[in-house]
Structure 1
């Protein structure tokens, strides 16, 4: 039994309602189809404090809940940890949500559970079948690798519905999944492999096309590096970013330090005072790695993201990328990224690509089951090229029956990897998804804001791809009311 599952959250004390405590305790040791409940503890309404990587986070208005941990197994030798938070019956909105993970996972995503809990959702998360996500060494064992790749989310969804039914004596009206980065990959993998698990799915900055994506990330970490240091300095990154803004910031009618539509942006590096080597490095980061015959192997980064490029350019390549090849592809602790050949490594990864990268963009079965999909991605993402989501979405729309009516992509100007940046990065896709699934109305725009010290100082709308938010030319250009979605 892994007692780590309850770590990281300070319980607020026993629930004040004896009936709630009794009903919650009745779940303990309940048998599940592929596992069992380990603990079931009542928590009273009020502040719920969660220890996070950057310090404790407190939800001031958490409802009374039953906090359940369980151990699941997809096969002998598998050990998937999961946790589900069940609001008191009177506070439950009738919905069930599973939240995704980041990086190599290895822990319960408690931070992502708090907001939906406060909104009345029964919400669950999984550690994806291993503990700790510092590296991919868990992937040397097949049960853990396959659980991380796709099985853990499915098992969590199934067990969560069993636990939920035992507590509420009712099935959820709707079941949803939401995740970003690795969670975005989990989202699209669930839609592809288990099309009936969820009624609606949110996939942010999805780490799909894994072999090519991670090859580009290693390439990014190596190109233009000398002794572990980038030949592009902080001043160079700033100059490249200003060059892009000078060329394209006004394309949406507003000079706000954000490029609304990088795909309509044309930049000229010749105007910059850069050495040939520095210019070639910048061009390589914009274009991505190339095959020997000159064809692109994967996307580069978008204009407007230059200020974040340093994030993948440390002394060594991003470990999520290099370990993809070291562990998942080669299964060799001694493998080194030295002399990395993106084309050869992508070819070597073909045997495992389908397990880790949601390679198929055919989601016809998910849409046939009534599923709705919202994708989103930040244009200034330094970790996963935003063009990856655009390409996947276009392929999915072209190759999936029902996609035109049941899928939407929202690109977020100026947003980094799953958040942050100078753009309108504060938004909530879950109400839009729930309204779509429950009410049948596809979202026409998503309200969003830029925050300074937690206070909105600029509002915008996020538009369904390929439309972009465009200023009307009249009124306050920091007010979303003066913008409309229009064709680029």
Structure 2
């Protein structure tokens, strides 16, 4: 009898260990207590079970997600004195078996603090408990109308939510609900975002360094207000020089830059491996001819000079560069809206990208027209932007020692032909962190950056896009496997799979000279891991640019 008794006891012990917290609480509001959110009060909780939930595809942004089963918990909270009402929505995989023991906070995009369903769906499909927030305002990626009160004064409370506050609130709420629902804390917690979501990830690392175990932040809008002002630079150059260059012409120059610099990484693959080494000069094409709208156009010195100045990026009349430029080979169609007329003249149209200046700086002034903006007006608005709004919406503080000391990891990637946010902004930030915290090798212990040649904003382009960077971050956080490369892939025009291993910054890709150029095994990473000389303290990002 003694041996069977021991076996029964052993089986019971194993069963208890393998079925620890096997169930969840009911998916209803009464199952949850108000999460503790510093500086905020919970207004209401609503919980609803969702089964077989589908999210349709968003071309170029989201693959279709189907048959999701989760507990949808919506919490509204407010910040006393702010008169705001902020939604934090958390999706919890419906059963304990569907949950991967992890929590994911998700970022926004454009002028939206969060993307709600578009970010929650993929996270839950991957097994995460996940949260998103609207920051207390409309989820509109292209409008900043919510930043103004009815009297056109700035709503600073909503801007604070957008900048940082709602990000921390979302994490507090999401982690609390996850623990309540599954009756255990998430083993690990992560951030996942690109563009605005990338900026938010950096802001979390800087301002709330001990809230998460890992941050995945791609193509970050580190200096968001200044970035939006930089969108106006091409128009200003063309207006002030009196020379309008059409989108067709800009695209031609981009193709010529690719033609000249593609081979510099050792292979003609339709991608410039390291834009920093591309010495393309548009003035070398003066006299050549191209066709736009059926009209033959000859490249003049004036046209070439405009292209050069636009690619230099915002530069003061005294020659100081105040924001990184887009690399040659990058499309300018996002910023330029100029057409070629039947008589060969060009018309400069409003590109519609002056949301920040028109809405926040000028309070929707009817007198404002970006195509008529003067140099004096532009630099006046730029100064106002940095002075009044950088502190609340920027994410470029290089002091990451608290994040480092918390044992957290920051994984970031940026496409080198990003046509919205110049990848150089991320390069420069990384260099500042190195100066602050002991050099490249020391920073690599907790923060690694990967550049994606030929990739546009958060994806697209002809280059290989990171395949599963969040999984790479998890391996770094949970297994201590620091990544030297980042697996990426795309398909070329023929539909063939193209794979690459993106290089850890500052290394760059180089074709090995043999093998299929479409395969990652035919490429290596070149460069040095030696730390650069640490610059004197006190030099700022803006000084450096």
The TM-score, its normalising length taken from structure 1, stands at 0.87
The residue number in structure 2 matching 1:11 is none
The residue number in structure 2 matching 1:262 is 275
Post-superposition Cα deviations, 1:148-194, rounded to whole Å, max 9, x if no partner, equal 11111110011111111110111111111111111111111111111
The residue number in structure 2 matching 1:10 is none
Equivalent position to 1:351, from 380, 388, 391: 388
Q: Structure 1: which 5+ residue stretches go unaligned?
A: 1-18
1:435 aligns with 2:475: yes
Aligned-partner Cα distance in 1 for 2:410–2:367: 38
Q: CA deviation at 1:423?
A: 0.7
Post-superposition Cα deviations, 1:294-341, rounded to whole Å, max 9, x if no partner, equal 111211111221xx211111332443xx33234444556457343254
Q: CA deviation at 1:230?
A: 8.8
Equivalent position to 2:219, from 205, 215, 219: 205
* CA gap 1:414/1:146 in 2 versus in 1, 3 angstroms: same
1:70 aligns with 2:51: no
CA RMSD, aligned part only?
A: 2.7
Asked whether the equivalents of residues 37 and 70 of structure 1 are also in contact (C-alpha less than 8 Å), the reply is yes
Q: CA deviation at 1:232?
A: 2.5
1:145 aligns with 2:159: yes
Post-superposition Cα deviations, 1:333-374, rounded to whole Å, max 9, x if no partner, equal 457343254433232121321111124121111111111111
Equivalent position to 1:339, from 374, 377, 396: 374
The residue number in structure 2 matching 1:181 is 195
1:417 aligns with 2:417: no
The residue number in structure 1 matching 2:34 is 31
* CA gap 1:179/1:142 in 2 versus in 1, 3 angstroms: same
The residue number in structure 2 matching 1:48 is 54
Q: CA deviation at 1:100?
A: 0.7
Q: CA deviation at 1:146?
A: 1.0
Asked whether the equivalents of residues 191 and 215 of structure 2 are also in contact (C-alpha less than 8 Å), the reply is yes
Post-superposition Cα deviations, 1:246-271, rounded to whole Å, max 9, x if no partner, equal 22111121101110110011112233
With 402-411 and 167-176 compared, the bigger mean Cα shift is at 402-411
* CA gap 1:477/1:26 in 2 versus in 1, 3 angstroms: same
* CA gap 1:284/1:318 in 2 versus in 1, 3 angstroms: farther
Q: CA deviation at 1:21?
A: 8.7
1:363 aligns with 2:377: no
Aligned-partner Cα distance in 1 for 2:80–2:219: 30
* CA gap 1:107/1:475 in 2 versus in 1, 3 angstroms: closer
Aligned-partner Cα distance in 2 for 1:358–1:210: 8
* CA gap 1:465/1:55 in 2 versus in 1, 3 angstroms: closer
Aligned-partner Cα distance in 2 for 1:27–1:97: 24
* CA gap 1:155/1:293 in 2 versus in 1, 3 angstroms: same
State how 1:267-416 maps to structure 2 within 5 Å: 267-272=280-285, 273=288, 274-305=299-330, 308-314=331-337, 315-319=349-353, 322-329=354-361, 331=363, 333=365, 336=368, 337=370, 338-339=373-374, 341-349=377-385, 350-400=387-437, 403-416=443-456
* CA gap 1:454/1:366 in 2 versus in 1, 3 angstroms: farther
Q: CA deviation at 1:36?
A: 4.9
Q: Structure 2: which 5+ residue stretches go unaligned?
A: 1-21, 148-153, 289-298, 338-348, 529-545
Partner SS state of residue 458, structure 1:
strand
With 432-441 and 334-343 compared, the bigger mean Cα shift is at 334-343
Equivalent position to 1:101, from 108, 131, 156: 108
Asked whether the equivalents of residues 53 and 66 of structure 2 are also in contact (C-alpha less than 8 Å), the reply is yes
Aligned-partner Cα distance in 2 for 1:466–1:110: 36
Asked whether the equivalents of residues 24 and 182 of structure 2 are also in contact (C-alpha less than 8 Å), the reply is no
The residue number in structure 1 matching 2:526 is 486
Aligned-partner Cα distance in 2 for 1:396–1:55: 31
1:476 aligns with 2:523: no
Partner SS state of residue 185, structure 1:
helix
Aligned-partner Cα distance in 1 for 2:495–2:119: 21
Post-superposition Cα deviations, 1:361-400, rounded to whole Å, max 9, x if no partner, equal 2111111111111111111111111111111111122213
Q: CA deviation at 1:57?
A: 5.7
Aligned-partner Cα distance in 2 for 1:352–1:443: 35
The residue number in structure 2 matching 1:6 is none
Asked whether the equivalents of residues 289 and 298 of structure 1 are also in contact (C-alpha less than 8 Å), the reply is yes
Q: Which has the larger radius of gyration?
A: 2
Q: CA deviation at 1:456?
A: 5.5
Matched length: 462
* CA gap 1:151/1:403 in 2 versus in 1, 3 angstroms: same
With 102-111 and 185-194 compared, the bigger mean Cα shift is at 102-111
